[in-house]
Structure 1
Amino acid sequence: MRAHLARVDAVIIQAAIAGALSFAHLHDLAEAAGQGGWKAWAYPVSVDLLLVAAWRRMRAQQRAGQPAGGARLWFLIALSASLGANVATAGLLDLDHVPAPLRVVVAGWPALAFFGGTLLAHEPRTSEKPAAPESPEPNAEPVSAPPALDESPRDALPAPPPEPASDAVTAPAPTPAVALPPALVDRVQALAEEHRATTGLPADPDAVRARLGLPPSMTASVAAHL
């Protein structure tokens, strides 16, 4: 922070010294050219103000992307007047015998500076940034979207019933009864009577077939004789 202030102070001091010297040189030249009294003090103010005004307008137009030829012209005129006065008072010009052309230039400077300042003041201003779009009012009702059209088909046919699976498992066909020999028939009936006498229930064909040692395919044949 202190280093920044030191740099700013140095710039201000340098500008003040340079401005004072340039101001004095312009005053001395105007006074030597026959503009005495308060008029000699007004010349430095006029030149420096025109120089600063032209510089600021030129920079503003350049930042805005606009042509700055007019402001640049008046900046060069004011700079030439200030620089010429400083060089003229460096001992190259006899201030006691100022040439007539220089007297004419000094006498005509007020009109020239007034014209340049008027043109700079009436030049079109730099374009401002476009205004941001206005936000909708808080009380404004939102615009409702139109109702969506019913895109479902009105005359759609019902879906056909699912077809039965081709590989459905079919129930096994019953095994036909096989005729038993008479001895085996007597044995079947005896076992059935024994079971009924013991349990009071009819005998199970499959149980009788198992006791006789017959295969499962003979269950129907055994049941036919119970």
Structure 2
Amino acid sequence: MRAQLARVDAVLVQAVIAAALSFAHLHDVASAAGQDGWKAWAYPVSVDLLLVAAWCRLRSGDAKAASWCWFVIALVASLGANVATAGLLDMDQVPAWLRILVAGWPAVAFLGGTLLAHSAPTTTAETEVEVIEDQEGAPEASPEMPPRPAIEPAPKRPAVPVPAALIDHARKVAAEHHTRTGAPIDIQTLRARLGVPAPMAEAVAAEL
């Protein structure tokens, strides 16, 4: 537990140091580009907020292409300030292109933050409705499915006397039909196989 806390503390200290240095470098570049006073301190806040917003959208899994784009833009701005203040840039004579980039950064950061904050998520209401419909339309799984009847139920009619031998023969015909087709035998097919009138076929079906 103590070792884990020590690793976490080390990471937090490293993150604070890196953030402070990057914050200071962005402030120095903005100040050298002509943004004095509170404006110079607002630039590093703007860069870091855009970086955090893009990273949060990447973690959520929504709009990854746009999130990566704005994450890279903010990262380049932060790294560029760190490199520029390492002696590669004359802070007393800042080139015109850098002044243009610094002056245009607020509009770029506002556009990126707005798109990241208000872009529609990938999972829309229509997709959720389709998923619900698919779930409702899917048959429910049952560990023990009841056997299908050997014959479809027939409407109730007045009782007709049926010989026992005919019923036994009808059972064999119905079982053979079910084995061959996988479906219960209907009354019309049963009547044709037995060669009996419709009332007799219905009475046999009722007995089955």
TM range (shorter): 0.5 to 0.7
Q: Name the residue aligned to 2:48.
A: 48
For 1:39 and 1:115, how far apart are their aligned partners in 2? 18
- Report how far residue 93 of structure 1 moved: 0.6
Superimposed CA distance per residue, residues 185-212 of structure 1 (whole angstroms, 9 cap, x where no aligned partner): xxxxxxxxxxxxxxxxxxxxxxxxxxxx
2:10 pairs with 1:10:
yes
Q: Structure 2 unaligned runs (5+)?
A: 137-151, 166-208
Q: TM-score, normalised by structure 2?
A: 0.60
- Report how far residue 109 of structure 1 moved: 0.5
- Equivalences for residues 78-117 of structure 1 within 5 A: 78-117=74-113
For 2:160 and 2:19, how far apart are their aligned partners in 1? 92
- Report how far residue 156 of structure 1 moved: 2.6
Q: Give the conservation status (yes or no) of the 8 Å contact 1:60–1:126.
A: no
Please say which structure displays the higher CA radius of gyration. Answer: 1
- Report how far residue 25 of structure 1 moved: 0.4
- Residue of structure 1 aligned with 2:70, choices 74, 80, 104: 74
- Report how far residue 58 of structure 1 moved: 2.3
For 2:50 and 2:80, how far apart are their aligned partners in 1? 15
Q: Name the residue aligned to 2:163.
A: 157
For 2:113 and 2:58, how far apart are their aligned partners in 1? 13
- AA matched with 1:52: V
Q: 1:58 to 1:158 in 2, by over 3 A?
A: closer
Q: 1:158 to 1:92 in 2, by over 3 A?
A: closer
Q: TM-score, normalised by structure 1?
A: 0.56
Q: 1:75 to 1:158 in 2, by over 3 A?
A: closer
Superimposed CA distance per residue, residues 78-111 of structure 1 (whole angstroms, 9 cap, x where no aligned partner): 1110000000000111101111110111011011
Q: 1:154 to 1:87 in 2, by over 3 A?
A: same
- AA matched with 2:112: G
Runs of 4+ in 1 over 3 A off after TM superposition: 128-134, 148-151
For 1:9 and 1:100, how far apart are their aligned partners in 2? 42
Q: Which has the higher helix share?
A: 2
Q: Name the residue aligned to 1:223.
A: none
Superimposed CA distance per residue, residues 130-173 of structure 1 (whole angstroms, 9 cap, x where no aligned partner): 59889xxxxxxxxxxxxx9589x9423368xxxxxxxxxxxxxx
Identity of aligned residues (%): 65
- Report how far residue 127 of structure 1 moved: 2.0
Q: 1:155 to 1:78 in 2, by over 3 A?
A: same
Q: Give the conservation status (yes or no) of the 8 Å contact 2:51–2:70.
A: yes
SS at structure 2 position matched to 1:75: helix
For 2:164 and 2:101, how far apart are their aligned partners in 1? 106
For 2:36 and 2:164, how far apart are their aligned partners in 1? 113
Q: 1:101 to 1:158 in 2, by over 3 A?
A: closer
2:27 pairs with 1:27:
yes
For 2:100 and 2:13, how far apart are their aligned partners in 1? 35
Question: Which is further off, 51-60 or 32-41?
Answer: 51-60
Q: Name the residue aligned to 1:127.
A: 123
For 2:3 and 2:163, how far apart are their aligned partners in 1? 89
Q: 1:157 to 1:77 in 2, by over 3 A?
A: same
